Amino acid sequence: MSMDPDRPALEEADLVGMAQRGDMASFEALVARYRDKIYARAYSMMRNEEEALDLSQDAWVKGWQKLAQFQGDSSFITWMTRITINLCLDQLRKQKRLRAESLEAMEEDGGRGVEWRLPAANPNPTAGLEQAELRERIDRALAQLSVEHRTALVLHEFEDMEYKEIARRMKCSIGTVMSRLYYARRRMASLLAGLKRENSE
Protein backbone atom coordinates (compact mmCIF):
# COMPACT_ATOMS: atom_id res chain seq x y z
CA MET A 1 0.00 0.00 0.00
CA SER A 2 1.61 3.30 -1.01
CA MET A 3 1.36 6.36 1.21
CA ASP A 4 -0.72 9.30 0.09
CA PRO A 5 1.88 12.12 0.10
CA ASP A 6 -0.69 14.49 1.65
CA ARG A 7 -1.39 12.32 4.68
CA PRO A 8 1.72 13.19 6.69
CA ALA A 9 0.51 16.79 6.78
CA LEU A 10 -2.89 15.91 8.29
CA GLU A 11 -3.59 16.56 11.94
CA GLU A 12 -3.63 13.61 14.28
CA ALA A 13 -7.32 14.14 15.07
CA ASP A 14 -8.18 13.96 11.35
CA LEU A 15 -6.15 10.78 10.85
CA VAL A 16 -7.69 9.13 13.91
CA GLY A 17 -11.18 10.13 12.81
CA MET A 18 -10.68 8.68 9.33
CA ALA A 19 -9.10 5.53 10.72
CA GLN A 20 -12.08 5.10 13.05
CA ARG A 21 -14.30 5.20 9.97
CA GLY A 22 -12.30 2.28 8.55
CA ASP A 23 -9.68 4.11 6.48
CA MET A 24 -6.66 1.82 6.70
CA ALA A 25 -4.40 4.30 4.91
CA SER A 26 -4.97 6.85 7.69
CA PHE A 27 -4.10 4.21 10.27
CA GLU A 28 -0.95 3.42 8.32
CA ALA A 29 -0.04 7.10 8.51
CA LEU A 30 -0.45 6.99 12.29
CA VAL A 31 1.73 3.89 12.43
CA ALA A 32 4.40 5.63 10.35
CA ARG A 33 4.23 8.70 12.59
CA TYR A 34 4.48 6.92 15.93
CA ARG A 35 6.09 3.55 15.28
CA ASP A 36 9.44 4.54 16.78
CA LYS A 37 7.86 5.81 20.01
CA ILE A 38 5.78 2.67 20.45
CA TYR A 39 8.74 0.45 19.64
CA ALA A 40 10.94 2.41 22.07
CA ARG A 41 8.45 1.88 24.89
CA ALA A 42 8.23 -1.83 24.17
CA TYR A 43 12.02 -2.06 24.01
CA SER A 44 12.49 -0.20 27.31
CA MET A 45 10.31 -2.82 28.99
CA MET A 46 11.40 -5.98 27.20
CA ARG A 47 15.08 -5.13 26.49
CA ASN A 48 14.95 -7.49 23.53
CA GLU A 49 14.71 -6.16 19.97
CA GLU A 50 12.72 -9.05 18.50
CA GLU A 51 10.23 -9.18 21.34
CA ALA A 52 9.87 -5.40 21.25
CA LEU A 53 9.24 -5.55 17.51
CA ASP A 54 6.60 -8.27 17.85
CA LEU A 55 4.87 -6.58 20.78
CA SER A 56 4.88 -3.16 19.13
CA GLN A 57 3.20 -4.69 16.08
CA ASP A 58 0.71 -6.54 18.28
CA ALA A 59 -0.04 -3.20 19.94
CA TRP A 60 -0.83 -1.60 16.59
CA VAL A 61 -3.11 -4.49 15.66
CA LYS A 62 -4.90 -4.16 18.99
CA GLY A 63 -5.08 -0.39 18.51
CA TRP A 64 -6.85 -0.89 15.17
CA GLN A 65 -9.30 -3.36 16.73
CA LYS A 66 -10.11 -1.05 19.66
CA LEU A 67 -10.05 2.23 17.73
CA ALA A 68 -13.78 2.78 18.28
CA GLN A 69 -13.09 2.95 22.03
CA PHE A 70 -10.66 5.87 21.68
CA GLN A 71 -12.61 8.92 22.81
CA GLY A 72 -9.84 11.53 22.76
CA ASP A 73 -9.56 11.74 26.59
CA SER A 74 -5.80 11.50 26.10
CA SER A 75 -3.61 11.92 23.06
CA PHE A 76 -3.55 9.08 20.58
CA ILE A 77 0.10 8.26 21.32
CA THR A 78 -0.63 8.09 25.08
CA TRP A 79 -3.52 5.72 24.38
CA MET A 80 -1.36 3.54 22.11
CA THR A 81 1.46 3.56 24.67
CA ARG A 82 -0.91 2.24 27.33
CA ILE A 83 -1.91 -0.61 25.03
CA THR A 84 1.77 -1.36 24.42
CA ILE A 85 2.56 -1.34 28.12
CA ASN A 86 -0.29 -3.74 28.91
CA LEU A 87 0.88 -6.16 26.24
CA CYS A 88 4.45 -5.98 27.54
CA LEU A 89 3.28 -6.58 31.11
CA ASP A 90 1.25 -9.60 29.99
CA GLN A 91 4.28 -10.98 28.18
CA LEU A 92 6.55 -10.36 31.17
CA ARG A 93 4.08 -12.14 33.44
CA LYS A 94 3.96 -15.07 31.02
CA GLN A 95 7.76 -15.26 30.96
CA LYS A 96 7.90 -15.09 34.73
CA ARG A 97 5.47 -18.03 34.98
CA LEU A 98 7.80 -20.04 32.76
CA ARG A 99 10.82 -19.25 34.94
CA ALA A 100 11.45 -21.56 37.90
CA GLU A 101 12.83 -19.01 40.32
CA SER A 102 10.63 -16.73 42.38
CA LEU A 103 11.87 -13.33 41.26
CA GLU A 104 9.30 -11.48 43.28
CA ALA A 105 10.47 -13.10 46.51
CA MET A 106 14.12 -12.31 45.69
CA GLU A 107 13.44 -8.70 44.82
CA GLU A 108 11.21 -7.98 47.78
CA ASP A 109 14.03 -9.24 49.94
CA GLY A 110 16.17 -6.43 48.56
CA GLY A 111 17.76 -8.30 45.69
CA ARG A 112 21.43 -9.02 45.47
CA GLY A 113 22.68 -5.46 45.78
CA VAL A 114 23.14 -3.69 49.10
CA GLU A 115 23.32 -0.19 47.65
CA TRP A 116 19.83 0.64 48.75
CA ARG A 117 20.60 -0.07 52.36
CA LEU A 118 23.51 2.37 52.52
CA PRO A 119 23.25 6.11 52.99
CA ALA A 120 23.19 8.10 49.77
CA ALA A 121 26.76 8.38 48.52
CA ASN A 122 26.03 9.77 45.07
CA PRO A 123 24.05 12.98 45.41
CA ASN A 124 24.88 13.78 41.81
CA PRO A 125 25.77 10.56 39.96
CA THR A 126 25.39 12.19 36.54
CA ALA A 127 27.63 15.22 37.11
CA GLY A 128 30.02 16.03 34.29
CA LEU A 129 28.44 13.74 31.70
CA GLU A 130 27.59 14.84 28.20
CA GLN A 131 24.01 14.22 27.09
CA ALA A 132 24.81 11.48 24.61
CA GLU A 133 27.08 9.74 27.08
CA LEU A 134 24.48 10.01 29.82
CA ARG A 135 21.82 8.50 27.55
CA GLU A 136 24.09 5.59 26.73
CA ARG A 137 24.94 4.98 30.38
CA ILE A 138 21.33 5.14 31.44
CA ASP A 139 20.51 2.58 28.79
CA ARG A 140 23.27 0.24 29.97
CA ALA A 141 22.30 0.68 33.60
CA LEU A 142 18.62 -0.04 32.85
CA ALA A 143 19.65 -3.29 31.21
CA GLN A 144 21.22 -4.39 34.47
CA LEU A 145 18.05 -4.00 36.52
CA SER A 146 15.68 -6.87 37.08
CA VAL A 147 12.43 -6.99 35.14
CA GLU A 148 10.31 -5.86 38.09
CA HIS A 149 12.55 -2.94 39.03
CA ARG A 150 13.00 -1.75 35.48
CA THR A 151 9.27 -1.94 34.80
CA ALA A 152 8.44 0.18 37.86
CA LEU A 153 11.07 2.72 36.84
CA VAL A 154 9.94 2.90 33.20
CA LEU A 155 6.30 3.34 34.15
CA HIS A 156 7.07 6.07 36.68
CA GLU A 157 9.90 8.00 35.03
CA PHE A 158 9.04 7.61 31.34
CA GLU A 159 5.26 7.38 31.54
CA ASP A 160 4.64 9.67 34.55
CA MET A 161 2.34 7.11 36.16
CA GLU A 162 1.37 7.51 39.81
CA TYR A 163 2.08 4.76 42.34
CA LYS A 164 -1.57 3.69 42.35
CA GLU A 165 -1.68 3.18 38.60
CA ILE A 166 1.65 1.37 38.54
CA ALA A 167 0.37 -0.95 41.29
CA ARG A 168 -2.78 -1.65 39.30
CA ARG A 169 -0.89 -2.43 36.11
CA MET A 170 1.82 -4.50 37.78
CA LYS A 171 -0.82 -6.23 39.93
CA CYS A 172 0.98 -5.59 43.20
CA SER A 173 0.56 -3.36 46.26
CA ILE A 174 1.50 0.32 46.39
CA GLY A 175 4.09 -0.57 49.06
CA THR A 176 5.71 -3.01 46.65
CA VAL A 177 5.80 -0.34 43.94
CA MET A 178 7.47 2.09 46.33
CA SER A 179 10.09 -0.48 47.36
CA ARG A 180 10.81 -1.44 43.77
CA LEU A 181 11.13 2.18 42.69
CA TYR A 182 13.37 2.96 45.60
CA TYR A 183 15.65 0.01 44.97
CA ALA A 184 15.75 0.72 41.24
CA ARG A 185 16.71 4.37 41.72
CA ARG A 186 19.40 3.60 44.29
CA ARG A 187 20.78 0.92 41.99
CA MET A 188 20.73 3.30 39.01
CA ALA A 189 22.62 5.93 41.04
CA SER A 190 25.20 3.35 41.98
CA LEU A 191 25.52 2.04 38.42
CA LEU A 192 25.80 5.50 36.89
CA ALA A 193 28.44 6.52 39.41
CA GLY A 194 30.22 3.19 38.91
CA LEU A 195 30.24 3.58 35.13
CA LYS A 196 31.64 7.09 35.56
CA ARG A 197 34.42 5.72 37.79
CA GLU A 198 35.23 2.94 35.27
CA ASN A 199 35.62 5.37 32.42
CA SER A 200 37.83 7.76 34.34
CA GLU A 201 40.29 4.98 35.28
Partner 1 sequence: MKHDLELKVQAWLDGELPEHEARRIGQWIARDAEASALAAELGCVRQALSRHEAPVTVGESREFYWSKIERQIQREAAVPGKDSLPWLARWRKYLEPAAGVVALTCVILMAVMQAGSRTFDEISSPGDGMEAVTFHDQSAQMTVVWLRTAQNQSVPKNVRFEDEHGTVVDLE
Distance from C-alpha of 111 to C-alpha of 109, rounded to nearest angstrom: 6
Do 145 and 187 meet the contact criterion of CB atoms below 8 Å apart? yes
47 counts as binding partner 1 under rule CB under 8 A: no
Q: Which of residues 13-32 bind partner 1 (CB under 8 A)?
A: 24, 28, 31-32
Q: Where are the alpha helices (DSSP H) in 22-120?
A: 24-46, 49-65, 76-98, 103-108
Out of 176, 192, 195, 196, the residue judged to bind partner 1 by CB under 8 A: 192
Taking the alpha carbons of 64, 70, 72, 73 in that order, is the dihedral positive or negative? negative
Distance from C-alpha of 188 to C-alpha of 144, rounded to nearest angstrom: 9
Out of 158, 165, 172, 194, the residue judged to bind partner 1 by CB under 8 A: 158
172 counts as binding partner 1 under rule CB under 8 A: no
136 counts as binding partner 1 under rule CB under 8 A: yes
Altogether, the residues listed in the chain come to a count of 201
156 counts as binding partner 1 under rule CB under 8 A: yes
Which parts of this chain interact with partner 1 (CB under 8 A)? 1, 24, 28, 31-32, 35-36, 39-40, 43-44, 49, 53, 56-58, 60-61, 64-65, 119-126, 131, 134-136, 138-139, 153, 156-158, 162-163, 178-179, 181-182, 185-186, 188-189, 192
